[in-house]
């Protein structure tokens, strides 16, 4: 197996094992088992579990940041609301494509010391700068204020992803619209149709928007055809 292939195989397995077993419980053995390679193969890629964590963190952070920056670039010419929506949608898209990678990043985020903490700070800086440049266009904020706003927006996206994981049958697109709506007009001014779209009424007996208790078969069809 070419070294590059083995390398990405090992790193991919490491992300999966770190995300599922935790940073401390993960061993080189369990990564070797997951990657279906020998332990010696892993030591051909990295020298230690610590280096494996560092390399995997760097790769996953890069992937996440690139995905967000690429999305921002693609939507740069759109109106403010569309850009705001695209930002949340990019985080959701990442979490859907790489759920283990996303879980791994959340684990890494609060590391306070060591090389991974430095990486996390670098990622935060990059995302903040990107957001700040977009918000500066809107005349909003720069520097630390932008950093705070970026932290809050990323926290909202993360919570939105969590909501789709916690409650089965939640429409991810509607959650993206919810987050966009909250940052646009607040929770109270929100278009009530967004709340109605969050949960197909028949997926959960206790769900629904106050006052909307109709459960028609046509909703089922709608839910089934939810676009990706």
Of 130-169, binders to a copy of itself (CB under 8 A) are 136, 138-145, 147-149, 151-152, 154-156, 158-160, 162-163, 166-167, 169
Sequence-distant (≥ 6) Cβ neighbours of residue 116 within 8 angstroms: 53, 54, 57, 108
| Closer of 9 and 72 to a copy of itself (Cβ) | 72
| Closer of 37 and 94 to a copy of itself (Cβ) | 94
Sequence-distant (≥ 6) Cβ neighbours of residue 164 within 8 angstroms: 92, 170, 172, 175
Nearest to 164 by CA among 150, 179, 151, 152: 179
Q: Is 223 in the site for a copy of itself (CB under 8 A)?
A: no
User: What SS3 state is found at 210?
Assistant: coil
User: String of b and e for 61-86 (b: at least 16 CB within 10 Å)?
Assistant: bebbbebbeebbeebeeeeeeebbbb
Binding track over 15-54 against a copy of itself, x by CB under 8 A: ------xxxxx-----------------------------
| Closer of 70 and 152 to a copy of itself (Cβ) | 152
Q: Work out the widest C-alpha separation in the chain, in whole angstroms.
A: 63
Kindly state the helix (H) or strand (E) to which residue 171 belongs, with its residue range.
Answer: none
35 alpha carbon, distance to own chain's centre: 24
Of 66-125, binders to a copy of itself (CB under 8 A) are 80, 103, 106, 110, 124
Q: Which residue among 4, 77, 79, 211 contacts a copy of itself (CB under 8 A)?
A: 211
Least distance between a copy of itself and beta carbon 7 (Å) = 26
User: What SS3 state is found at 71?
Assistant: helix
Least distance between a copy of itself and beta carbon 68 (Å) = 16
Least distance between a copy of itself and beta carbon 186 (Å) = 5
| Closer of 183 and 219 to a copy of itself (Cβ) | 183
| CA gap 23, 27 in Å, rounded | 9
Q: How many residues at the interface with a copy of itself, by CB under 8 A?
A: 58
| Closer of 12 and 18 to a copy of itself (Cβ) | 18
Provide the 8-state DSSP code for 47: S
Query: For residue 123, which phi and psi values (nearest 5 degrees)?
Result: -60, -45
> Contact positions toward a copy of itself, by CB under 8 A?
21-25, 80, 103, 106, 110, 124, 136, 138-145, 147-149, 151-152, 154-156, 158-160, 162-163, 166-167, 169-170, 175, 178-179, 182-189, 195, 198-199, 203-204, 206-211
């Amino acid at each position: 197996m070419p070294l590059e292939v083995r390398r990405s195989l090992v790193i991919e397995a490491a992300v999966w094992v770190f995300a599922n077993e935790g940073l401390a419980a993960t061993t080189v053995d369990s990564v070797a088992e997951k990657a279906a390679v020998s332990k010696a193969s892993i030591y051909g890629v990295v020298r230690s579990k610590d280096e494996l964590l560092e390399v995997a963190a760097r790769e996953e952070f890069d992937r996440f940041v690139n995905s967000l920056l690429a999305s921002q670039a693609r939507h740069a010419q759109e109106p403010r609301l569309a850009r705001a929506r695209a930002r949340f949608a990019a985080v959701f898209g990442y979490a859907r494509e790489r759920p283990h990678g996303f879980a791994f990043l959340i684990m890494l985020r609060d590391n306070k010391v060591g090389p991974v903490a430095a990486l996390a700070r670098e990622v935060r800086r990059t995302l903040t700068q990107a957001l700040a440049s977009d918000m500066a266009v809107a005349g909003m904020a720069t520097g630390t204020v932008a950093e705070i706003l970026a932290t809050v927006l990323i926290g909202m996206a993360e919570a939105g992803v969590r909501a789709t994981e916690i409650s089965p049958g939640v429409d991810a697109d509607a959650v993206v619209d919810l987050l966009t709506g909250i940052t646009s007009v607040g929770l109270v001014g929100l278009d009530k149709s967004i709340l109605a779209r969050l949960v197909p009424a028949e997926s959960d007996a206790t769900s629904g928007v106050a006052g909307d208790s109709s459960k028609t078969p046509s909703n089922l069809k709608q839910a089934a055809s939810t676009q990706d």
